[in-house]
Structure formats: C-alpha cells, structure tokens
Amino acid sequence: MSELKTLHNEVPYEMTRKIADGGMGLVYEARQKGAGGFSKSVAIKIIREEYSAIPEFQKNFIGEARLVADLIHTNIVQTYHLGQANNQYFMVMEYVDGVSLEQFLEKHRELNQPIPVEIAVFIISRVARGLAYAHQKCDDQGRLLGIVHRDIGPKNIMLAWEGDVKLTDFGIAKALDLMYNEEGKVIAGKDEYLSPEQASYAVTDGRADLFALGIVLTELLLCKNIFRAPDRLDSRRNILTMQIPRFGDLRVEVDEKLEALIQRLLKRDRDKRFQTSHEVLTELELYLYSDGYGPTNEKLGVYLRELMGYAPPGSRSPLNVPMTRPQQN
C-alpha cells in the first residue's frame, strides 16, 4: 500500500479503497472534492512502485494517458487527468460503479448458471462499438492513430449496474507515436486471449482485437476459455493450432447464424476474419435486432443487479423485464 500512502497527501483526492491489482499497475477508488460540497467518485491508476522509476514504463503510462484522453465514447472508460506526485505518475479516470466481466463470469460459474445467449452477444456488441470508435480514431492532424488494444479480456471490460458496458486499460495498446512498443520482439497481452498474430510475434492491426473479442464471446457462451491451459506456452499453442470446435455442439442455443459469426471472428488467417470492428458490430446487431426485439442496457442492468444481488441505494430495480425475444408462433 506504499503507493497509496505516497499519493494520499499529494493529490486533491480522498483515496478510499483498492479496486484492481494488475501486474504493473494498481487502481484505487477515490473521491474528488470541490467547492460547495462538490464530491465525485473517480478511479486513480498508478504504476507499481517497483516499476515507476523504469523509463519505458513511465513512457507507456504517459502514452496511455495521452492516447485515451481523447477517446470519449460511452463504451470506453474516460480519462480525466494525468498528474505527478513525488516522481510518481497517476491517472484520474471515470469510476464505473459495477463489476468486471471477469466477476460476472465468476458469478455464473459459482451458480453453475449459463449466461443468456443474447446477453452475451449484447455485451460483446457494446465492446465492438467501443473498438469501432477507437480503431478509427485520428489525431488532430487527421492521421489515423492505428490503435490496437491488444489486451481484450474479461478483466478489462466493465459492466455498470445500469447496464453500460465499458472497455478499459489501454496500457499495452499500440498507437502512432504514443506508446513504447517492441512488437515483433515481445508478446503483449494475456496468453489465453491472444490473437494468432500476437502469439506468433507478428505485427498486429485492429483485426487482432477481433480475434480476442471472439474468444471472450465464446467464454461468455460456455463459461470457460477453450484456449486456456495450465501452462502459458500451451495456451499460446492452443491459440495457434487447436481445432476450433463447433460451438453449437457445445451449447445448443448457439444457432447457425451465431455459429457462422463466431467462426469468422476466430479465423486464424486474419484476411479471412472480419476486417473491421464496424463490420463485427453490424453483424452482432443484425443478429440481436433483425426481428425488431433485443436486449438493451436497461435489460442488462436488471439482469446484472439480480445476478449479483445488488440494489442501488434509493432505487427500485424493475422486475419481470423479459431478457429474451418473445417466442414466435
């Protein structure tokens, strides 16, 4: 907790609790105070103390802050400020009151309860929406930034109690002139969520994020990551060589239309994969809403609160909201 003690008296925020603990960084919930009794919940991200003096980590942390400062989208966690205290950088971000997709999955595993197919697809469609925005983002000279997140996974997707879905942690993203990057020499990302390009040390583009999106979608549908192995090298080997199953054989609710969509997301040859996140978003929304009825943020919020047993203070959660399409006669 030394990082928290270091910042406590140096920044205009009341640090309250640790909410995330990553390999190189920590995230705390804090209260931002202002005039007239103003108070706002924020999240503060800092580099672990042992990494804070290493130039490449500092450069990447600053690069992440500069990158996400202008990523203003409802499906991306917003960054408000980059500061420095006692030679340690910190980032002030939007606080998402809810749970991570990892916690959402863990709750379903604990209950031995499958995630409704349309809820799974809806969550992934919102992440695709955020990626579609990020992948096309340009700098103030109109140059495409070429953003690739490279770390799409359940830990980095947040679900707010109201049903908003937000992508976070661009800490190992690559982008034009902004991020420290040794692509081709090192593997960036978690082994069981890598694209084949990442797993084979190839240079990536936005299509790498789409393969990872396919992995997360199948994990939501099956409540397990089919590529994960006890050994990291085996996870990578599975990404590169394991036979991709028919998911309709593993879960009967996966129909042919969704099967085709998943199989295309998981094409190892990226030229045969979906080519843009816009294309993925369109196909996901056609799947969800082609008959005019489908999930919404509000329905996801109801499902999430009931799943987790959470009632927001002073609110009433509407019950009996249908989670799936009405049966056709």
The residue ranking higher by pLDDT, 325 or 259, is: 259
DSSP state of 193: G
| Residue-range domains of the chain with CATH | 2-33+41-94 (3.30.200.20), 98-289 (1.10.510.10)
State yes or no: pLDDT of 160 exceeds 90: yes
- pLDDT score of 143 more than 60: yes
Q: Which of 70, 140, 151, 209 is catalytic?
A: 151
Express each pLDDT in 279-303 by its tens digit: 999 999 999 998 878 899 999 999 9
Q: Tell me how many helices (H) and strands (E) the chain has.
A: 11, 8
Six-digit token string for 264 = 């295309």
Tokens matching residue 79: 């960054």
pLDDT-above-90 percentage for the chain: 60
315 pLDDT higher than 50? yes
Our answer to whether residue 97 is catalytic in this structure is no
Tens-place pLDDT, residues 175-187: 876 655 666 666 7
Q: How far is Cα of residue 142 from the mean position of the Cα atoms in its chain?
A: 26
Give the pLDDT of residue 287.
Answer: 96
**What is the structure's pLDDT at 7?**
56
Cα distance between residue 16 and residue 57, in whole Å = 25
pLDDT in tens, 80-104: 998 887 778 889 999 999 999 999 9
Higher-confidence position of 140 and 4: 140
| Least confident among 143-147, 181-185, 215-219, 276-280 | 181-185
Who wins on pLDDT, 229 or 318?
229
- Helix, strand and coil in the chain, % to nearest 5: 40, 20, 45
Q: Phi and psi (nearest 5°) for 33?
A: -100, 150
Where does the chain have alpha helices with state H? 2-8, 55-69, 101-111, 117-135, 196-199, 207-222, 232-241, 247-250, 256-265, 277-289, 297-308
Contact 42, 23 (CB under 8 A): no
Write the CA distances from 246 to 218, 223, 237, 251, integer angstroms: 11, 16, 19, 9
As a whole number, the mean pLDDT across the chain is 87
| pLDDT at site 23 | 67
The arithmetic mean of pLDDT across residues 27-39, rounded, is 86
Interior/surface letters 281-310, b for 16+ CB within 10 angstroms, e for the rest: bebbbebbeeeeebbebebbbbbbbebeee
Does residue 174 register a pLDDT over 60?
yes
329 vs 163, higher pLDDT:
163
- Say whether pLDDT at 224 is over 90: yes
